Structure 1
Amino acid sequence: MTKLYGSLEAGGTKFVCAVGDENFQVVEKTQFPTTTPYETIEKTVEFFKRYEDRLAGIAIGSFGPIDIDQNSQTYGFVTTTPKEHWSQVDLLGLIQKEFNIPFYFTTDVNSSAYGEALVRKNVKSLVYYTIGTGIGAGAIQDGKFVGGIGHTEAGHVYVPRHPRDYANEFTGVCPFHNGCLEGLAAGPSLEARTGIRGELIEQNSDVWDIQAFYIAQAAVQATLLYRPQVIVFGGGVMAQEHMLRRVREKFIALLNGYVPVPDVTEYIVTPGVPENGSATLGNFALAKQVSER
């Protein structure tokens, strides 16, 4: 009987559940809104139960912060998230207890980074950012995730504010930090500045240059901290081609030739896995990995 692998991309807005075959081809995929923990986890379990007799493993890539320390009493928990009702929820434990198979637990951006590395030939160091409702990043060095006692939280680093934000005393929308990358550059910051939802803002609006200024800073940070072969920007904000151009231009100006990098059109890119499937592909591979241990 063909083995199947499970993927859960647990996002703050929606949960994406999928099962894939041994070639990591999707057998079935579904998604539903992230509501209360009880309702959302129940739907997740129901989906995977249909394949229980063939599942060899499941990987979960979750919104965070999460506890990934296997020696911790709260391993598998969503911890200090601003997502209502989800703080200190035992996400892994509540799903895992329903199955007798191994699980892999990491961040959603780590899952995406792993998937992106799989489809890029000879790439062993990569940083993946999602720029959407929130901002997070996963980094891979020599095929392994970067992290220690916990995962990185690249969306909550402090960044110099754009002159216009400084003049307007705009410090962002993050409930934890004034002036962090997520608060200043995630999707909700667009509406906070303009009163207009991001997808309705004209491409020639100056607000996109403000946004690109911050995202380019993220690319500079990734370059200097990790020296990756590729930086991938995913998420709704970066789905527009004009944003990629703006970010590349501002990155070149901010880095100012300090260290060598590849051609910027090959260095700063959008996802290589179609249809936002990076995390699903990465999870299939991580589920196979944990099933073979």
Structure 2
Amino acid sequence: MSGSDQKQVLGGIDAGGTTFKCVLAGLDGEIIARKRIPVSVPEATIASVTAFFREALSMHNATMKSLGVASFGPIDIDPASDSYGTILETPKPGWASCDLCGRLSAALGVPVHVETDVNGALLAEMAWGAAKGCASAAYVTVGTGIGAGIYTGGRLLGHPVHPEFGHIRLQRHPKDLGFKGSCVFHGDCLEGLASAKALQDRFGDPAALPADHLAWEIEAYYLAQASLSLVLMSRVERVILGGGILLADGLIEKVRVAYDMLMNGYVKDRATIELISTPGLGDDAGLKGGILLAMRGAGD
């Protein structure tokens, strides 16, 4: 079959710190192939990603028009920068100064468009998920670290750099005064107190903790403060809390209760159950973010 008979498709990657989730999608964003690739060193990881896309393209008799990447960071997201798409300083072995998008573009022969993982997830949630129809929203991802994306006034806040929201300072929970925090830079910042690593450091495996464990009251208190800061600072219409930690039974409800206590009736734009939510796209938020970046890139 000739190249002119091949259909055009898009590629999307949710480039996480431990797993790259890769998809091939139609121009309408409908996923037609997907694969999870464990992260190792850049050379092996990029080779596996490239092999997936080549095989999927061959199987579907397709050509890729554009590739979108929602990536772990820090990463250069300034399209005008010479290092656009390059991973910056990171403790991940071998990944510092890796030209992730340049390598993918060269290997696949397509333009690559990149955002941070949390910004990608936020844009996808605004297009198709929990913040669809909202003019402003924030997405907070809680994992090994904590990051946030904020969309208001028709753009991503801080672009082409991005907020370091995970390092804001918090009021300590009265039953959590002895823990010094897990952040190597600031100790007891948001990330140092509420990340998955912070929970692990003082309570053990979060997945093994019962729903009534004190850890979840403490975690909810810190995530409520984070939500409060976002609402008071930018008056966003939706705060989306994502990441595996939010799968804990009853945690989102505890966050809402703590938020109402902390807000104390001051801002009453909307009900808290509407304001604070988990991702509507679930675990696919970052992946759909990659597809959305590719869709926008294909339209340029």
TM-score range, shorter chain: over 0.9
TM-score where L is the length of structure 2: 0.90
RMSD: 1.7
After TM superposition, where is structure 1 displaced by more than 3 Å over at least 4 residues in a row? none
List aligned pairs for 1:211-230, cutoff 5 A: 211-230=219-238
Describe the SS at the equivalent of 1:219.
helix
- Equivalent position of 2:191 in the other structure: 182
Deviation at residue 149 of structure 1 after TM alignment? 4.4
List aligned pairs for 1:188-203, cutoff 5 A: 188-194=197-203, 196-203=204-211
Residues 83-123 of structure 1: CA deviation (Å, up to 9, x unaligned): 23322222112212213322111101111111111124421
The answer on 1:161 being equivalent to 2:168 is no
- Equivalent position of 2:26 in the other structure: 21
Residues 140-189 of structure 1: CA deviation (Å, up to 9, x unaligned): 225532223411221122222223332x1x22212222122112111111
The answer on 1:44 being equivalent to 2:53 is no
Q: Name the CA distance, whole Å, in 1 between partners of 2:249 and 2:134.
A: 24
Q: Name the CA distance, whole Å, in 2 between partners of 1:58 and 1:75.
A: 14
Q: Percent identity?
A: 34
Q: Name the CA distance, whole Å, in 2 between partners of 1:177 and 1:38.
A: 33
CA contact (8 A) 2:104 2:112 kept: no
- Equivalent position of 1:286 in the other structure: 293
Unaligned runs of 5+ in 2: 1-5
TM-score where L is the length of structure 1: 0.93
The answer on 1:82 being equivalent to 2:91 is yes
Q: Name the CA distance, whole Å, in 2 between partners of 1:147 and 1:208.
A: 31
List aligned pairs for 1:265-276, cutoff 5 A: 265-274=273-282, 276=283
CA contact (8 A) 2:37 2:49 kept: no
Aligned length, in residue pairs: 289
Unaligned runs of 5+ in 1: none
Q: Name the CA distance, whole Å, in 2 between partners of 1:270 and 1:121.
A: 13
Q: Specify which of 28, 32, 36 is matched with residue 37 of structure 2.
A: 32
Residues 162 and 81 of structure 1, relative CA distance in 2, 3 Å threshold: farther
- Equivalent position of 1:148 in the other structure: 159
Residues 121 and 191 of structure 1, relative CA distance in 2, 3 Å threshold: closer
CA contact (8 A) 1:6 1:287 kept: yes
Residues 63-99 of structure 1: CA deviation (Å, up to 9, x unaligned): 1111112333332111122323322222112212213
Deviation at residue 15 of structure 1 after TM alignment? 0.8
Q: Name the CA distance, whole Å, in 2 between partners of 1:124 and 1:90.
A: 33
